[in-house]
Chains A and B, each alone.
Chain A
Amino acid sequence: MTFRNLYCSVMAMVPTSSGTRSEARVVEVTLESTLKNVEVAEEVSRRVSVTAGFGSEAAFQIEMAVHEAVINAIYHGNKEDPGKSVILRFLIFEDRLEIHVCDQGRGFDPGVLPDPVAEENLMNASGRGIFLVRKFMDELNIETSANSGTEVTMIKRLNSEV
């Protein structure tokens, strides 16, 4: 596996979305842009989810969300360019898991994604990835620009079972 040795787990003070600071454990992985690394991301996701206290069903949902987000980053974002990396960062809070997936691509317009369960799109061969992430996670935010790439932020709360 082309898996850079940047797997770490540390305690860190990180800002929350409300602007306050909260203690989280941070696990960060840098992945080279090859599809073989998607399984690495899944494995890390499984271990982090168990550490964070999620049950097997929620852990699987998190793993699928990570799978889809990392595939988008490697395949659509970085276009499998070996010179570009994907950062996968997990923030383990007491009540939730926050996951960031950052690529170095040219960005995209999330507003143009068609609804894959609309009658006219049901038989489309693609376009279900982000939809599944939304289904499996409690929150999804996409920041994207042509200059700085795309950062996907996903949150799963510990007491939620989607």
Chain B
Amino acid sequence: MSMKAAVRQVDSVTVVDVRGRITLGEDCKQLREVIRGELAKNHKNLLLNLADVTYIDSSGIGELVSAFTAISNQGGQLKLLNLTKRVHDLLQITKLYTVFDIHDDEATAISSFAAAS
């Protein structure tokens, strides 16, 4: 299943529910466009819900890093929610687990943005 992203607003946080694969090609491009679109609307607090991500490859991981950098450079924050075991393991292997602020509860994740701002 190719990547699908649904965007919703919870308080001051933009939650992006990502489904399917985040791999080289159209999937990565779509995710990049969704994030750029939100930044263009001045939505700088983004929470990526990865609960339904079935597959992520090295390019998908690179896309998460690029998004993190782009949002940080604009004074915003990108956080991750509900990692599957495989995404979790890949972030551990690539030593990115400590780079991202990762949550497994949406309400806690949302309130962590308020606490930081």
Contacts and interface: CB of A to CB of B under 8 A. Distances in A.
Nearest to A35: B25
B70 to A, nearest CB: 10
Interface string A113-131: 0001100001111111101
Contacts of A132: 57-58, 90, 93-94
Interface residues of B, number: 20
B57 A122 contact: no
B99 A123 contact: yes
- Interface of chain B: mostly helix, strand, loop or mixed: helix
Contacts, number: 52
Contacts of B23: 38, 67, 71
Contacts of A64: 57
Nearest to B68: A123
Interface in B9-60: 23-25, 57-59
A122 B93 contact: no
Nearest to A116: B94
A135 interface: yes
Nearest to A67: B57
B69 interface: yes
Given A60-B86, A75-B24, A126 B62 contact: yes
B94 A125 contact: no
A28 interface: no
Q: What are the 9 A-B residue pairs with the smallest beta carbon separation, nearest first?
A: A128-B58, A129-B58, A125-B62, A117-B95, A125-B66, A35-B25, A126-B62, A71-B24, A135-B93
7 contacts: A35-B25, A71-B24, A117-B95, A128-B58, A129-B59, A132-B57, A132-B94
Interface of A: 35, 38, 60, 64, 67-68, 71, 75, 116-117, 122-129, 131-132, 135
